[in-house]
Every structure is written in C-alpha cells, then in structure tokens.
Amino acid sequence: MAAPKKPPLPVILMANDLIDGEVVFRTATGWSSEPREALIAGNAQAADALEAEGIAEMSRNKVVDAYLVDVVLGENGPQPRHFRERLRTLGPSIRPDLGKQAQSVIEPRGVPHVSL
C-alpha cells in the first residue's frame, strides 16, 4: 500500500478525545481543546514526529482518529486551511452556542460564512 499523502506544512495534530469525543490538539505537553495551544510543526521532521506521537497516543488509548492537519498561521494561532477541519476547531456553523466557538475564548472566524 502506498503511504498516505502528507499534508503541506505547517501542520498540527488533531484528534478526538477517547472518553468524551471532543476535538483536541496536540500541544508540547499533552492534549488541549484549544487550537491556539496546538504545537506547530514547520518542517518535515517535526511533522513526522508529531504524526508518530499521534499513533502512539492512539495506541495508548488516549485519543482516536489522530491525523495531521495543514494550517495557516494567524494572530489567533494556527487555523486549518481546509474548511472541514476549520469547522472542527469551531463547532456546527449553524449553532454558535455549541462546540468550541461557544467557549468564547476564540472568535468564530474564517469559516466561509453562508450569508444569504
């Protein structure tokens, strides 16, 4: 089997917490529910290390579905390039009262807003 394609750099590592399912981000010391605390890998070596950590954490049964996500760096920290992953850092776009966006620390931003 061919190795899965690597995302462009820089990347962060996202996963779901095993126990409550919440989206979490790998930090320098563990996992955080805050995207701005995510550890950013800017070169291939760091990305590989981050990915390896994801695999190790999955086998330690801390998280599920850990994978690298390519981001752009802004003043509020890393922001996934793809809208799917961006939504995961926020919550349902139709329910601003739910998910991470509800916890006021971060502003809903950058998701292509359907204003019609």
Partner 1 sequence: MYRYDEFDSRFVRERVREFRAQVERRLDGSLTEDEFKPLRLQNGLYLQLHAYMLRIAIPYGTLSSRQLRQLALIADRYDRGYGHFTTRQNLQFNWPKLKDVPDILDLLADVEMHAIQTSGNCIRNVTADHFAGVAADEVEDPRPTAELIRQWSSLHPEFSFLPRKFKIAVTGAEHDRAAIKAHDIGLRILRRPGTGEIGYEVIVGGGLGRTPMIGKVVREFLPRADLLSFLEAIMRVYNLEGRRDNKFKARVKILVHEIGAEEFRRRVEQEFAALDGPSVNADPEEVKRIAAYFAPPPYEELPERSVKLSIAKAAHRDFARFVETNVFAHRVPGYAAVTISLKPIGGVPGDATSEQMRIIAELAERYSFGEIRVTYMQNLVLPHVRNDELFALWEALDAAELATANASLVTDIISCPGLDYCSLATARSIPIAQSLSRRFADGARQREIGPLGIKISGCINACGHHHIGNIGILGLEKNGAEYYQLTLGGDATENAALGERLGPGLAAEEVPDAVEKIVNVYLQERSVGEEFIATYRRLGIAPFRQAFEKGVEGDQHAAH
DSSP string of the chain, one letter each residue? -PPPPPPPSSEEEEEEETTT--EEEE-SSSEES-GGG---B-SHHHHHHHHHHHHHHHHTTSEEEEEEEEEEEETTEEEESSHHHHHHTT--TT-TTSSGGGGSSS---SS-----
By CB under 8 A, residue 28 contacts partner 1: no
* From 7, 35, 78, 99, residue interacting with partner 1 (rule: CB under 8 A): 99
* Under rule CB under 8 A, residue 30 binds partner 1: no
The residue from 1, 3, 28, 94 that contacts partner 1 (CB under 8 A) is 94
- Binding stretches for partner 1 (CB under 8 A): 16, 18-23, 58-61, 64-65, 81-84, 87-88, 91-95, 98-99, 112, 114-116
